[in-house]
Structure 1
Amino acid sequence: MKLSARRRLTKLAMVVAACTITLSACGLTTPPGKSGSSNGGAEVIVGYGDIDTLDPTQFKTNTATLVVGNVYGTLFAQKFQAKDGVLVGTAEYAPSLAESANYSADGKLLTITLKPGLKFADGSPLTAADVVYTLQRSLSDVGYTGIFASYLRFTNGASGVRAASDTTVEIQTSGVSPLLRKFLSFQTFGILSKAAAEKGSTKKWATDYFAKGGVSSGPYKIEARSEGSSITLVKNPEYTVANLADAPAKVTIQNQPNAEQAYLALKSGSIDIDLSVSPDLAAQAADNRDLKVYKAATGDLVYLGMNQTTPALKDVRVRQAISHLVPYRALREKVMAGFAGPAYGPDPYPMNGTLDGSGTKQAYDTDPAAAAALLRQAGVSGLSLKMTVQASDVTAVKSATFVQSALGEGGITVKVDKLSDADYQSAVGDGTTQLFIGSWHSWGEDPIYQLNFLLRTGQYTNYARYSSKQVDGLLDAAMKLSGDDERYALGKQAQQIAIDEAPWAFMFTRDMITLTRQNVGGLTKPDDLFPRFQYLTLN
């Protein structure tokens, strides 16, 4: 799933695993009067955005998604490993609310066993009936999360999920899913209280009840909320699957209208963590001795899409020429102030199964001479194109200026069309763009999952209208496999074909950036890029 950095997700952008999000990890500090004598008594104040709905299955703002990820527990949870001062998510997903998950010998039945004695924050028991309710709700048409059923290999959707006992869930499957633990760690599958939902709402799936926040099953619960202003979370004493003794006692998320205001609040000490930071402000913060700048490489890909329904862009040589004209280094250094990495194809570093294991490779070099030769071979001159960008996406708008100039120097005239969020989504969805700047980050960072959504023929989120029978065939084959090594090998073949055929210019990957006060530790970078508050520490 993914969302575009620091702004409200639109339905299309997030459909899918997070489709365009760029978030940062979180931290903690101890300004005077904000902490107790130990980390377990600390109060942390985070600066971010506003909250709309808190329903796990609905499209929502980044801040709302951050809250959901800390309030609802999941059957599995990602493990972390320290790297350059950040706890980075690994490829291992361990049981959390679940105790085990086992397939039958033929792979047709999945049995999930819960840990004994689980409770919701209100003290009521958390049982298999709640897990069944959650899975059935998530796989229904109540939101976008039903798309995960095929990846989980649930054969009969919601009807194939049942409670065999208070602690046992049985699910009909078509085979072993290599993504099971990873996907069931997604906050969209956070376990919900069936009894609370039925008591709190008369609507199907209690959408009105969950929009305001349900009973917590995770490490934190909602203590108070002031709409448009703030939300306060406190530790959930009934959450026993992890030791929360050293976790902050309270986390308040304040709505900061813009990045500049959040940065000023951080400098003044009125907030401890800034999740709204822009690359320019992060660069400024590097010289401030009261602040820390945390960054980590991510697979959050920013690309220049080339719609192949546009006559000139049907020629691969024109697309390759444009790819050779993009000023990659300038984009990373001037637009992103150095908080970006090169992108080698549609599954960039540090994604699983990437072709670039070091984070140093660029799919195309900036080479105007090579571009000119390709345009001559294609018999193209005097080409004029329109580039569509989302006006609210500062990164896209800045990038468009550099790309427009570079393509102009290469003989391609580009007009930049800045659209509102709704108009932009309509344009890319309807296929009425020529060039467009987009971004994508997949929760779980699985290469086959990402390629399926972005480059499979006919996929709605394949905004470039790219079509390759060879890529589709590789993805079809990979979807049937259970071993990651085999899946990734096929994915790498598909990635290289996409690089060669250039449906996009792969511009850069955005780093996760977080600013904090100086004495902050325990920042996490999970695959979905939403920080987990329980790991925060005071240094």
Structure 2
Amino acid sequence: MRLRSTLIAVAGVVTLAAGCGGQAATPEATVKGSIDSKAISAKPERADLKVAVPSKVDSIDPLVASGVTEVQVLSLVGGTLFALDYDGKKATPGLAKSGELAADGKSYKVTLKDGLTFSDGSPLTSADVAATFERARTFESNVYAGEFAPVRKVTVIDSATLEFTFSRAFPSFEMMLSFPEFSILKKSEIGAKGAIPSSPTLAGPYVVEGDVKGNSYALTRNAAYAGPEPSVRKISFTVVPDAAGRLTQVRGGQADLAVDIGVQAISQSLPGVSVHANPSMIITQLTFSDNTAPLTDVKVRKAVSLALDRNKISQIAWAGAMPPNAGLLPTTSIGAKPGNTGADPAVAKELLKGTACENGCSLSLLLDGSSGWQSSSATVIEQNLKEIGVNVSIQPLETITLYDRLGKGDFQLALGYFGAYADVPDATPQYCLSHSYGFLSCYTGYKSAEAEAAVDEALTATDEANLKDAYAGVNAIFEKDAPLATLTDYAAVWAVRDDARGYASIGATAFITVAPKG
């Protein structure tokens, strides 16, 4: 559920989509703000929808895919037991008919829908679900290991019923069953050490046509899908690394929808195209390599964070569409604590006294060269840090190269974003503060027993009041240790042609959603 660089698609179900308010777009409509999910409606059948995306797909393995485009594709082809609603606030049955959490929160019983099949027509049973979770438990390359860790045992009761037993209370389990990484795999395709085909047989609304690893590929409608039939028969993806290039494709008709087009498009007059910037549960961040000098020193990390003018970053990188944020959680979270978002170079310089950067130092900053907001943010960061004697060298990279270096710890500073599809502690708090949960504490290398204990308290909170209290503890540790620097909330800025509006859109979950046929 953690999102890394660029964004996403519906988990296990076709989410209804009708653009903003479900109204026909005016020729030069430009929209900023969330979409009203109450206006979502079905659409007549459409043969093809062309989508321009920023990066290639490296994998659609549910336990490996984490780049935006990867998760977008996985979400459209993967079938999950539950599915998030358009606002990301509620999980509804997907492949499951029903689910029930025990009173103590330590077990969960699921009943599958009748007659489920994978896209190839073979039966999907509780044995496949159990095998999927067993793979997640043992697969060494599972980047979502922390999300599956509480599942101690899966008991198959019959072909349509199974029970999950947890090592602790797991109140967010049903919500998480709607996330793409929980897509159900075919038991017979799981090989030694958890190996699966590069294009596994799944059970979502679409099926991969050929190979998704090139610069262009397509998804076709899954005739065996258990949910509502999608209105679009075929979705064609084209990789266009440049944000302006993606927008140009929509304006010229080569694409119907473009993902991550850059916030500058919000203020443009675009006849026949509408632009949207929707709030999400995601933060943008400046990632520190906490194990690389001079960032091993918490005083240097805090000084860098204090020097950042997040208000200016919000204006330059997001045209003010996304609020500045110095806290760990997005402002849309019940645990949000944005903090002081203005720059304080004087205090930052005081913190640098006695450190390796007292008399100046140099840091390299990696970023995704296909991302407009990252390039704009980097320019402000470079200026801010120069004021405290820190020289920054900016290094744009391809998405895959960037995350390869992050995974190896081969960096000092890096831009990116992180978040979830819903407001659950199993996302940003868990992955960015708990090293044991399998994501290198959001690539920082940060390790803290105190932080892990605070996160565990949030993970087991059974009501909103307890969760708020737990989040307060998490926020206090984040402020004390400064493992990374949050910059702003994240918006999925996207554009759609008027004649395609309502067939596909991106809502609060940051998923690409496709309207059902009707």
| Paired letter, 2:6 | R
1:161-172 matches, within 5 Å, as 161-172=154-165
State yes or no: 1:506 paired with 2:505.
no
1:414-429 matches, within 5 Å, as 414-416=391-393, 418=395, 420=397
CA contact (8 A) 2:328 2:429 kept: yes
CA contact (8 A) 1:219 1:534 kept: no
Name the counterpart of 1:189. 182
Change (3 A) 1:335 1:145: closer
Change (3 A) 1:38 1:452: closer
The percent of aligned pairs where both chains have the same amino acid is: 24
TM-score for the superposition, normalised by structure 2 = 0.79
* Cα-to-partner distance string for 1:161-191 (whole Å, 9 max, x where unaligned): 2322111112332344112112211222222
Give 1:251 shift: 2.3
Change (3 A) 1:478 1:354: closer
| Paired letter, 1:193 | K
Distance 1:140 1:379 in 2: 42
CA contact (8 A) 1:388 1:424 kept: no
Give 1:45 shift: 1.6
| Paired letter, 1:508 | T
Q: Which deviates further from its counterpart, 216-225 or 378-387?
A: 378-387
Among 106, 111, 123, the alignment partner of 2:121 is 123
| Secondary structure of the corresponding residue to residue 46 of structure 1 | strand
Distance 1:229 1:314 in 2: 39
| Paired letter, 1:182 | M
Among 390, 402, 408, the alignment partner of 2:367 is 390
Distance 2:240 2:50 in 1: 12
Distance 1:252 1:427 in 2: 30
Name the counterpart of 2:34. none
Change (3 A) 1:309 1:535: same
Distance 2:254 2:276 in 1: 19
| Paired letter, 1:54 | I
| Secondary structure of the corresponding residue to residue 280 of structure 2 | strand
Q: Which deviates further from its counterpart, 103-112 or 511-520?
A: 103-112
Among 133, 136, 139, the alignment partner of 2:134 is 136
* Cα-to-partner distance string for 1:440-481 (whole Å, 9 max, x where unaligned): 223544235422321246772355555666434322433444
Change (3 A) 1:168 1:308: closer
Name the counterpart of 1:34. none
State yes or no: 1:57 paired with 2:63.
yes
Among 189, 194, 217, the alignment partner of 2:203 is 217
Distance 2:184 2:251 in 1: 38
| Secondary structure of the corresponding residue to residue 512 of structure 2 | coil
Among 293, 318, 323, the alignment partner of 2:275 is 293
Give 1:293 shift: 0.4
Aligned length: 485
| Secondary structure of the corresponding residue to residue 45 of structure 2 | helix
1:412-491 matches, within 5 Å, as 412-416=389-393, 418=395, 420=397, 434-447=412-425, 449-456=427-434, 460-461=440-441, 463-464=443-444, 466=446, 470-491=450-471
Any gaps of 5 or more consecutive residues in structure 1? 10-17, 19-24, 31-36, 81-87
Distance 2:125 2:2 in 1: 30
Change (3 A) 1:293 1:103: closer
TM-score for the superposition, normalised by structure 1 = 0.76
CA contact (8 A) 2:146 2:436 kept: no
Change (3 A) 1:150 1:407: same
Change (3 A) 1:112 1:404: same
Distance 2:59 2:293 in 1: 42
Give 1:291 shift: 0.7
Greater fraction of residues in helix? 1
| Paired letter, 1:264 | T
Change (3 A) 1:292 1:397: closer
Give 1:305 shift: 4.1
Name the counterpart of 2:246. 262
| Paired letter, 2:216 | S
Name the counterpart of 2:95. 97
| Secondary structure of the corresponding residue to residue 174 of structure 2 | helix
1:24-423 matches, within 5 Å, as 39-48=44-53, 49-59=55-65, 62-80=68-86, 88-90=87-89, 92-104=90-102, 109-141=107-139, 143-144=141-142, 147-148=145-146, 153-155=150-152, 160-195=153-188, 197=189, 205=194, 207-208=196-197, 211-214=198-201, 216-223=202-209, 228-240=214-226, 242-244=227-229, 247-280=231-264, 282-283=265-266, 286-306=268-288, 319-351=301-333, 353-356=334-337, 361-371=338-348, 381-390=358-367, 392=369, 394=371, 395-409=373-387, 411-416=388-393, 418=395, 420=397
Distance 1:309 1:120 in 2: 45
Distance 2:73 2:357 in 1: 51
Give 1:366 shift: 2.0
Distance 1:536 1:362 in 2: 45
* Cα-to-partner distance string for 1:236-278 (whole Å, 9 max, x where unaligned): 33334x433x722332223335333322221111221111423
* Cα-to-partner distance string for 1:330-366 (whole Å, 9 max, x where unaligned): 2222233444321141112223x3225xxxx453322
* Cα-to-partner distance string for 1:56-111 (whole Å, 9 max, x where unaligned): 2333654343222112221111112xxxxxxx322x11222112223456655432
State yes or no: 1:495 paired with 2:492.
no
CA contact (8 A) 2:138 2:194 kept: no
Any gaps of 5 or more consecutive residues in structure 2? 12-16, 26-41
